[in-house]
């Protein structure tokens, strides 16, 4: 019998390790041979820990399972797909999964994350094999043609970054993966690293071939110990099997890859602050130019991309740019792994082509709030994204449609609030977050955020609010136009959206 119990952090936090141990113990007691595989998560968090058994019909799921349920599962003959109150049928047929368009997440939850053979059996390394048969210029062109834009939030065309690095002469070039996923309600980077690490390694290796880099770093936030462990395990296997290192796959090219752990600063998710931190310095934003593509890590040309951007590359190379570009809408090509979080009934990972509406995600996938109350506000794109009211829920999720309503798709994190939320408190929180996380380099962000907290407190406390509101708007204008990076530029977005869409909360 083959049984799957996820090793993803979410499942572990909900007791997956204890469930796995209980299954092994029961199997031993009953003299049943069980092959227990620790897979990734399917991204349906309300069902975690989700136990799956392989049957002739397919993989049948049971969840959410607690260690105390395991004896009952054996009694119900779950190893043969037996009936049980927590049985959910064939996992692949769950609508939440069936309605998705999983390209990047195609293997996630299905395979053993640290089995290279499992990866190879599921289309793994086909992108690299194809890239090795192409010229570096054609690999860059393929990524350009796919229309892939940076999934970390800036949405800058990935192929243009690669082209710039490829065309900049240097004795040393670097590939850096930004895995500092610090936005509230986001976890798609973490899931890739924990649940399909070879995909990220393959994407970085293709990038290295394309631009002529021989060294890569994955900068992972310290809060992700399971991701760091999975990556290190996968990197060691890839090195041992010559998918990394000197003369990889007898191609004559080399690529060395290492993991670096961040130290818990939100602003180190900004690419130049990340590079400073990677160089061993304090994580402070660098002024641009020079662009990292020309003078990046240690002053050398550097490709710096987010996890999902790099993880999207293997399938683009394996299936071709046209296949990928066929998904999406307008100038937003491909798919986006979106993350439903906050007060939501069915939180988890939903990968869809650009063009799905926010409302579809919130209700068709998310099932409304966990509290059962009405959804009042949604924050898309992390703590610097605006709060969107119900009247904007029909906005399509693509870069241009969101920009048109003053929003940002960001990294695809969607945080839901019900009608008990206090939007003045949320606006204050945005300024407070900025005050705590500001790198301190420029005045509008460093000082403005602290003054912002004070002014919001005055708006709430004083009878005569108008002068304080005018001052807050003026301050936001200074921060938007006078700050060096997105931290100061965008903190006003949640503040102004709260003022504009939910003025009654400041009354």
Contacting positions for ligand SF4 (CB under 6 A): 267, 285, 438-442, 445-446, 483-485, 487-488
- By beta-carbon proximity to ligand SF4, the closer residue of 205 and 438 is 438
For 396, which DSSP code?
B
Nearest approach, Cβ of 437 to ligand SF4 (angstroms)?
7
Q: At what angle do helices 307-319 and 188-195 cross, to 10 degrees?
A: 60
Of 460, 430, 456, which is closest to residue 445 (Cα–Cα)? 430
CA 146 – CA 232 distance, rounded (Å): 30
Task: Give the nearest distance from C-beta 340 to ligand SF4 in angstroms.
Answer: 28
* Nearer of residues 314 and 382 to ligand SF4, judged by Cβ: 382
State the nearest-atom distance from the C-beta of 408 to ligand SF4, in Å: 16
Length of the chain: 507
Strand partners, 414: 340, 380
User: Would you list the DSSP string of 239-266?
Assistant: HHTTSSBTTGGGSS--BEEEEEE--S-G
Q: How far is the CB of 291 from ligand SF4 (least distance, A)?
A: 16
Q: Which of 269, 110, 238 is nearest to 176 (CA)?
A: 269
- Closest distance to ligand SF4 from the beta carbon of 490 (Å): 9
Shortest reach from residue 501's CB to ligand SF4, in Å: 24
Question: Least separation, in Å, of the C-beta of 412 and ligand SF4?
Answer: 22
Q: Which residues, at least 6 apart from 46, have a Cβ–Cβ distance to it below 8 Å?
A: 64, 345, 346, 347, 348
| Least distance (Å) between residue 424 CB and ligand SF4 | 23
Identity of the residue, 105 or 266, whose beta carbon is nearer to ligand SF4 in the bound complex: 266
Q: What is the CA radius of gyration of the chain?
A: 23
User: Do 176 and 278 touch, CB atoms closer than 8 A?
Assistant: yes
| Residue 220 vs 484, nearer CB to ligand SF4 | 484
Nearer to ligand SF4, 4 or 433 (CB): 433
Nearer to ligand SF4, 242 or 281 (CB): 281
> Alpha-carbon distance 384 to 198, whole Å?
31
**Quick check: 109 and 43 in contact, CB under 8 A?**
yes
Would you say 123 and 95 are in contact if contact means Cβ atoms under 8 Å apart? no
Closer residue to ligand SF4, CB minimum distance, 430 or 484: 484
Residue placing its CB nearer to ligand SF4 in the complex, 11 or 442: 442
Within 8 A by CB and 6+ apart from 158, the residues are 143, 148, 149, 150, 305, 309, 313
């Amino acid at each position: 019998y083959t049984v799957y119990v996820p090793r993803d952090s979410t499942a572990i936090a909900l007791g997956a390790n204890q469930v796995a141990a209980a299954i092994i113990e029961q199997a031993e007691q009953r003299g049943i041979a069980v092959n227990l595989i620790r897979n990734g998560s399917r991204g349906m968090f309300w069902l975690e820990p989700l136990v799956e058994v392989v049957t002739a019909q397919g993989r049948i799921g049971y969840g959410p399972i607690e260690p105390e349920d395991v004896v009952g599962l054996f009694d119900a003959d779950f190893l043969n797909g037996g009936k049980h109150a927590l049985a959910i049928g064939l996992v692949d047929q769950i609508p939440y999964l069936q309605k998705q368009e999983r390209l990047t997440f195609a293997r996630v939850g299905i395979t053993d994350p640290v089995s290279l053979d499992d990866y190879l059996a599921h289309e793994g390394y086909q992108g690299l094999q194809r890239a090795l048969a192409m010229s570096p210029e054609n690999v860059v062109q393929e990524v350009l043609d796919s229309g892939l834009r940076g999934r970390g939030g800036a949405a800058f065309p990935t192929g243009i970054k690669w082209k710039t690095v490829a065309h900049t002469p240097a004795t040393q070039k670097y590939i850096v993966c930004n895995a500092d996923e610090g936005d509230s309600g986001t976890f798609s980077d973490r899931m890739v690293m924990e649940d399909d690490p070879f995909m990220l390694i393959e994407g970085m290796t293709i990038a290295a071939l394309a631009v002529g880099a021989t060294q890569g770093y994955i900068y992972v936030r310290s809060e992700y110990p399971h991701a760091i462990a999975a990556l290190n395990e996968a990197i060691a296997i890839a090195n041992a099997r010559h998918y990394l290192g000197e003369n990889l796959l007898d191609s004559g090219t080399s690529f060395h890859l290492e993991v670096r752990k961040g130290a818990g600063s939100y602003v180190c998710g900004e690419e130049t602050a990340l590079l400073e931190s990677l160089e061993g310095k304090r994580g402070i934003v660098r002024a641009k130019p020079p662009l990292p593509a020309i003078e990046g890590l240690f002053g050398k040309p550097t490709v710096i991309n987010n996890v999902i951007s790099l993880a999207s590359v293997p399938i683009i190379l394996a299936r071709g740019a046209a296949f990928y570009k066929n998904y999406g809408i307008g100038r937003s090509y491909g798919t986006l792994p979106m993350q439903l979080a906050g007060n939501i009934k069915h939180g988890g990972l939903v990968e869809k082509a650009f063009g799905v509406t926010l409302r579809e995600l919130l209700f068709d996938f998310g099932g409304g709030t966990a509290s059962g109350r009405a959804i009042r506000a949604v924050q898309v794109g992390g703590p610097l994204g605006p709060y969107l009211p119900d009247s904007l829920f029909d906005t399509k999720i693509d870069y241009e449609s969101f920009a048109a309503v003053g929003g940002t798709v960001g990294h695809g994190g969607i945080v839901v609030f019900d009608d008990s939320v206090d939007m003045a408190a949320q606006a204050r929180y945005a300024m407070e977050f900025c005050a705590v996380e500001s790198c301190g380099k420029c005045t509008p962000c460093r000082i403005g955020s602290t003054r912002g907290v004070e002014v919001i407190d005055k708006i709430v406390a004083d009878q005569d609010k108008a002068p304080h509101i005018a001052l807050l708007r003026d301050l936001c204008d200074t921060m938007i136009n006078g700050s060096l990076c997105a931290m100061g530029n965008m903190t006003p977005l949640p503040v102004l959206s709260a003022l504009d869409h939910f003025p009654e909360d400041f009354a």
